[in-house]
Structure 1
Amino acid sequence: MSGEHTLARRTRTRRLLGTIGVTALATGAALVTAPPTNAQTPAAAATAAVTVQPDPSYRADRFEGWGTSLVWFANATGDYPAEIREKLAELLFDDDGLALNIARYNIGGGNAPDVKDYLRAGGAVEGWWNAPAGTTREDTDWWSADDAADWNPNADATQRWWVDRIKNDIDHWETFSNSPPWFMTASGYVSGGFNSSEDQLKADSVDDFAAYLAGATKRLEKAHGIKVDTLDPFNEPNTGYWGTRLGSDGRPVGGRQEGAHIGPELQQKVIRALAPALKKAKTGTKISAMDETNPNLFAQNWNSYPQDVRDLVGQMNVHTYGTGGRTSVRDLAKAADKPLWMSEVEGDWGDGQSFTDMRPGLGLAQQMVDDLRELEPKAWVFWQPVEDYDNMKPGGESAKGGNWGSIQLPFSCTSADTLATCPVHTNTKFDTARNFTHYIKPGDRLIRTDDTSSAAAVSTKGNAATVVHVNKTTSARTVTIDLSKFGHITRDATVTPVVTSAAGKLERQAPVEVTGSRAAVTVPAQSVTSFLVKGVSGVAKDAALLCKGHTYQLTGVQSGKALTVADDGTQLVIRTAGTDAAGTGQQWQVRQISGDTGNRQRYVFTNPAAGKRLAVRDGAPVLEADRGHRDKATQWIMSTTGDGTWTLVNAATGRLLEVGGQATTDGAAVTTWTPNSGSNQRWSVTDVTDQNGSRSSGL
């Protein structure tokens, strides 16, 4: 599909942290390999029990991996003494560290040469332009993408040191922009407009901005011998975050970072300009968009794009600083048949700077679980795992300090510093994140689970699985891993827990034997556990929701009423299910028409009594004769978070089957609408074949 990345991993040159790496950490968050213990012996009596059932019948495409943007930390530390830079690189990219394999390079905008720096430490990322001597903020019409003298090939040396250092560790490169250069902005500053809700990119600078991004990307590729897969021209563009405030002397005093409001209409113009600019630059980089701050706002922007703009986007990027609406973006991506990245998130999840408090680690872990389950992304990317220690300490960003970043060190260190005078700290987020990044690997495939505290994946070869479980409670918990959805379980199958808690980090316990398709393990309070499952493969015959020869009833979650053929034989309505739970107008059979067992396979739904199929015509769901070509309007993609309910995405329109107006009365119309994560867009699916007493051809 468009924008799809190659699955072949590049050669990685990695080093383990080793003894030196562990002792250099300024906290107790060292890498621990515990002696084998009996994983079924609890430290305290378990007060709750959870059964987790990973289901390989619903699986995503191959996971591309875990990543970070470089931005401030790379800009701040790229000229640090070698031992400090190497320590950070090991913690971020080595196998014993976070083992990241995706990097997002920030194409800096850059303020005018005569503007005194007022941005946060590391925030002033140098632009790729080369201004003539004496250029001031008032000079805005001097730059030309076609004039080599207007480019600075040596720009941004500190962030680019990191590009060279990690390029053998990185499988996927993305470039992105926080702000256009100052001379393309309405305010003349890269920190945003004087009105943060008005477009900051000047309308007559759209083509120049596109050429600037494409040109910088091509120069980055050529200078460092890398291949940039995607370029996102925006960062949280349709927000009011990015504003510049002037002090009494007329000089800027805030904001503290690059940013630009670019509304949906202007976004479309940038995307249309960027496609030919990338072609002219002779780079194979695809457009990604639009790195909006949360899923709901992403959906609002995306739904405003006309089809020609959507077609130019090779990858959809969303942040999850707001957590509502994840499933909406999931379904939009499936309908567009495009890869989806969770391309940025960070947070505190604690109460003041701490390197031992488990709450930040547990908060991050639950965020990762929720993102993986609800978004089904192909990649998960940190904002930046390295933060400025001085900004996070009490009295820095806040009175209590904070826990942003998994790794903290001062962004003010000098060439004379050492690890002793510029110490590197890790907090519990560093530890719990590795429960994911070490065991759900690039090439694995995310699969469904029925537990909201767990995420799961099957291995690249399909002969193993990983379940990551978060226990945020203050009591130990018995977790039973139910493997009955797998097609084959070997006699020697085992589940090995790897536990992170206040008592230890990534402690590998003794393997637990699988008995009767199950293995039970007691995990500590406030812990994250990776369950490494060996000896499973395939998909059980009865695992899939929809089976050949079966008949189903679809019931609206919000209405509690069944999807029913209207009396005219063409429209769809809801009605109370009959006493036999399967009146002829409420019976549905399915035929799989594309894909294997996966989360993007497509189905045709038919009502056997009427001999008609479910389609969308002129924006409305209808029943039509099931003959002739089954075009996209007759195709439906089913999505779930594992909670037992499903959305039905129409492949032609990208809209979901829903109960219009959240009605509950019998005879209310069933319509389609853009994904909004509403309960009136979710359906429970019940197999009523046995109640009918007959079977007919299905999948």
Structure 2
Amino acid sequence: MAGYKLSIVSLVILYLFAVVNAYKLNPGPYVGNDSLTLDPCLSKCSSNDTINDCNHKCHCAVQETVMIDATAKQQKFHGFGINLAWFAFVMGRAPETVRNQIADLLFDKENGLGLNVVRYEIPGGENPRFFFMHERERLPGYEPVPGVYDWSADESQRWFLMAAIQRGVEIQEAMAYSPPYWMTYSGSTTGGPKGYPNFNINYKDQFVDYLVTVVKHFYEHFNVTFSTLEMFNEPLADYWTFGNRQEGCHIGLDTQQILIPILHKKLQEANIPTKIAAADDYSIDQTLFTVLAYNETGIIRDLHQVNTHTYAGNRRAQLHEAMLDVKKPLWVSEYGNGDNSGLLTARHIMKDIQKLEPEVWCYWQGVDMAGSGWGPLEANLNNVGDYSFYATPKYYTFGQFTRFLKPGSTFVSTSDPLTLAAIRDDTLTLVTMNCGNVTFDVSSFSNMKYQEAQVWYSVPWKGLYFDKVGTFLVEDGKVTLNLPVAGVSSIVIQ
């Protein structure tokens, strides 16, 4: 990727408490993994340095102009989201004040990240004979034995689903990591021997019936309408092995293409508005392979949308072209990493949105293991009864995207791989990782009388989280700003 490069250095967090000006986001002091992915020049900066001082030491004082092209419209965006899955299963058992605080921090549009999409895992349910999984991964299934449903199961993950909806989350997707254990060859939802295909095709109708029954029950009894149902999770992967620590199932393309038409038919018969998404492959390149195969056999017609994870692969342009060809929307349904600064995530979001043009972008999950660097919020998810949690810098870095790039926005092209631009109503929003003196040229928006730009920083190394810098004039269609190194800045132009 062209532009500014990051490398891993170890840096002690300089401020324990978040500076909160424009938005009252303060779940508590930052603690945990102090390894931030930052520019190595930051070792020359001290806590007493101003942004200008550090920019100078990091050679970020060169004037740059970023062109925003109003005529080059890209995708209409429906929002950012997360998977509920493991964290909701654990933290949904927390005292009401704690789980409400977490729900507010993730979904509240005024005082939280304002996430607009949630993905609910329909658990397969592990064989009661096996105890391979950690506490956080052992979600109970709704059909523990054939033909018998337990609708009291998974109450805690369901609590977070309802809490998200109550806070205005508009899009809910259901997904499955594995069929119930009794539908597998190994007798376990963790996978098959050596990662071999583990779904017993003799249960094809029962598996589809299970998923449709759960989705219909949520629709009729919990007033939850899942927009889409995804019945696979990284299905081409060979790492879903018996004795694994989580639910997962290798399901080959031949089996996928048997299951999808059955699911399509049974969703229609159930008379519910839920449609089909597939296939949540691990990499961009795998998804391209899957889409081409679906298109070749014609089952692409049964899909409403294509989901991809973007942990690996680099054929973004080819996948985007394939999506235009099959005329289906694309979601980035999962991505995550262990960089707690959030800066690697920020770069990844920019690349995905610019090159893949997804309608939705989802981070892995909202709360992850303490010290892992994976969570915007982190907690001791495997310690039963310990419901303490804290925010990492990733929470605030991610928030620069989720709070400012609103659902219903339309992305437009920029001349810079480190700047996103989106327009909604009469507001143009830029999110950028540039540093130093940067001029944003918005003169192509000749029909809009932009007058001022409001600017916010999130600077992990400095301990600045949602720091409102000020309001700047837009003159002759341009605004020049001095932006911090190793941070993310949002600019709202009206």
TM-score, length-scaled by structure 1: 0.62
1:620 paired residue number: none
Please, which of 480, 486, 489 is the counterpart of residue 520 of structure 1? Answer: 480
Q: Secondary structure at the match of 1:324?
A: coil
2:324 paired residue number: 334
Tell whether 2:458 aligns with 1:500: yes
Tell me the distance in 2 between the aligned counterparts of 1:223 and 1:117. 32
Tell whether 2:494 aligns with 1:531: no
1:41, CA displacement in angstroms?
A: 7.1
1:232 paired residue number: 230
1:353-502 paired onto structure 2 within 5 Å: 360-389=341-370, 393=371, 402-412=372-382, 422-459=387-424, 461=425, 463-471=426-434, 476-490=435-449, 493-501=451-459, 502=461
Please, which of 319, 331, 339 is the counterpart of residue 309 of structure 2? Answer: 319
**Residues 239 and 97 (structure 1), Cα distance of their counterparts in 2 relative to 1, 3 Å cut:** same
Tell me the distance in 1 between the aligned counterparts of 2:317 and 2:229. 24
Could you say which structure has the higher helix fraction?
A: 2
1:70-219 paired onto structure 2 within 5 Å: 70-95=84-109, 96-113=111-128, 115-131=129-145, 143-144=146-147, 150-168=148-166, 169-196=168-195, 198-219=196-217
1:515, CA displacement in angstroms?
A: 1.9
**Residues 213 and 521 (structure 1), Cα distance of their counterparts in 2 relative to 1, 3 Å cut:** same
Tell me the distance in 2 between the aligned counterparts of 1:256 and 1:406. 22
Tell me the distance in 1 between the aligned counterparts of 2:53 and 2:447. 30
Contact 2:178 2:249 in 1 (8 A): yes
**Residues 51 and 338 (structure 1), Cα distance of their counterparts in 2 relative to 1, 3 Å cut:** same
Tell me the distance in 1 between the aligned counterparts of 2:241 and 2:365. 22
**Residues 309 and 155 (structure 1), Cα distance of their counterparts in 2 relative to 1, 3 Å cut:** same
> Residues 398-426 of structure 1, C-alpha deviation per residue, up to 9 Å, x if partnerless?
xxxx31111101114555x6xxxx43211
1:40-59 paired onto structure 2 within 5 Å: 44-45=55-56, 46-59=60-73
Tell whether 2:346 aligns with 1:346: no
Tell me the distance in 1 between the aligned counterparts of 2:26 and 2:235. 42
1:23, CA displacement in angstroms?
A: 5.7
Q: Number of paired residues?
A: 450
> Residues 65-114 of structure 1, C-alpha deviation per residue, up to 9 Å, x if partnerless?
1111110001111111112211211111112221111111101111223x
Tell me the distance in 2 between the aligned counterparts of 1:307 and 1:80. 47
Q: Secondary structure at the match of 2:438?
A: strand
1:268, CA displacement in angstroms?
A: 0.7
> Residues 363-417 of structure 1, C-alpha deviation per residue, up to 9 Å, x if partnerless?
111111111111111011111021022xxx3xxxxxxxx31111101114555x6
More relative contact order, 1 or 2 (CA 8 Å, 6+ apart): 2
Tell me the distance in 1 between the aligned counterparts of 2:212 and 2:451. 51
**Residues 157 and 204 (structure 1), Cα distance of their counterparts in 2 relative to 1, 3 Å cut:** same
Contact 2:421 2:431 in 1 (8 A): yes
Cα root mean square deviation, aligned: 2.4
Query: What is the one-letter code of the residue matched to 1:410?
Result: N
Tell whether 2:281 aligns with 1:282: no
Query: What is the one-letter code of the residue matched to 2:483?
Result: V
Tell me the distance in 2 between the aligned counterparts of 1:112 and 1:361. 37
Q: Secondary structure at the match of 1:499?
A: strand
Query: What is the one-letter code of the residue matched to 2:67?
Result: Q
**Residues 524 and 70 (structure 1), Cα distance of their counterparts in 2 relative to 1, 3 Å cut:** same
Contact 1:25 1:423 in 2 (8 A): no
Contact 1:127 1:155 in 2 (8 A): yes
* Contiguous gaps of at least 5 residues in structure 1: 1-16, 30-38, 132-142, 145-149, 245-253, 350-354, 394-401, 535-699
Contact 1:42 1:524 in 2 (8 A): no
Please, which of 32, 46, 65 is the counterpart of residue 79 of structure 2? Answer: 65
Contact 1:80 1:414 in 2 (8 A): no
* Contiguous gaps of at least 5 residues in structure 2: 1-19, 33-49
Tell me the distance in 2 between the aligned counterparts of 1:369 and 1:61. 13
Query: What is the one-letter code of the residue matched to 2:208?
Result: A
Tell me the distance in 2 between the aligned counterparts of 1:184 and 1:315. 26
1:44, CA displacement in angstroms?
A: 4.5
Tell me the distance in 2 between the aligned counterparts of 1:23 and 1:310. 45
Tell me the distance in 1 between the aligned counterparts of 2:407 and 2:184. 39
TM-score, length-scaled by structure 2: 0.86
Q: Which has the larger radius of gyration?
A: 1
